[in-house]
Structure 1
Amino acid sequence: MTVSLGIKHHDSGAFDVVPIATSDYFKRRWLPACAHLGLRYVSHFHDGALSTVSPDDLPDIVAELEILRAWAAANDAFMVERIDGVLRALQALDATSCEVDFG
């Protein structure tokens, strides 16, 4: 299993997937970092709690990803690469014209 960001575009019906991590890697590396940093959204990317993300929650998710990225810069280059991909995707989207989910 993998953990990913999904973006469904309302106008075209297209569905983009941005990979985050394998389930095992997420549990071994991301979850301990989330617990250490007190991240409440990112820690649920894997468990279905964010199967539908409110546009109002996106700024908080981006803020948490930036915190995690700063921590990972000294600890996990692979995590930084994946966080950068998710941040690029989230910052490029129009939240009013798509649905976002993590799982």
Structure 2
Amino acid sequence: MSVVLMTTSRQGDTRWNRLVPVAAQSTFKELWIPAAEALGLQWVPLFEAGFPLERSDLPDVIRELEALRAWCVSSESHRRGILERLDRLIDELNEISKSDHDVEIFIG
């Protein structure tokens, strides 16, 4: 199993249909969850089970991901392994947040 970001255009524009890998399930449990707990994050642990996001949720989710990123940069080297995926996830969510395109967003 794995955690992914999946977006689907509600307007049929396939350029907005994306499947972005976030983490293998084991990596998510071993690295992401402990980091999220250490930081007191609320959204990130929900990624494990999966849930749909509303556009209005994006600022809070992005803020948490940026906090996680900062913590990983300043922490032990094994946590740096998630930075590439974390950066891509933040970039994708920022792109969605700034666009006016109507997409369904699911993380899980």
Could you tell me the TM-score, scaled by structure 2's length?
0.86
- Identity percentage over the alignment? 34
One-letter amino acid matched to 2:12: S
Where structure 1 has 5 or more consecutive residues not aligned to the other structure, the ranges are none
Q: CA deviation at 1:74?
A: 2.6
Tell me the residue number matched to 1:46. Answer: 48
Aligned equivalents of 2:100, 2:44: Cα separation in 1: 18
Q: Secondary structure at the match of 2:22?
A: strand
* CA displacement, residues 28-83 of structure 1 (integer Å, 9 cap, x when unaligned): 110000000000001111112x2x11111110000000000000113322211111
One-letter amino acid matched to 1:98: V
Aligned equivalents of 1:5, 1:54: Cα separation in 2: 13
Where structure 2 has 5 or more consecutive residues not aligned to the other structure, the ranges are none
Aligned equivalents of 1:96, 1:62: Cα separation in 2: 18
Q: CA deviation at 1:95?
A: 6.2
List aligned pairs for 1:23-102, cutoff 5 A: 23-48=25-50, 50=51, 52-75=52-75, 76-93=79-96, 94=99, 97-102=102-107
Aligned equivalents of 1:22, 1:36: Cα separation in 2: 20
Higher Cα Rg: structure 1 or 2? Answer: 2
One-letter amino acid matched to 1:32: P
CA root-mean-square deviation: 1.4
Could you tell me the TM-score, scaled by structure 1's length?
0.90
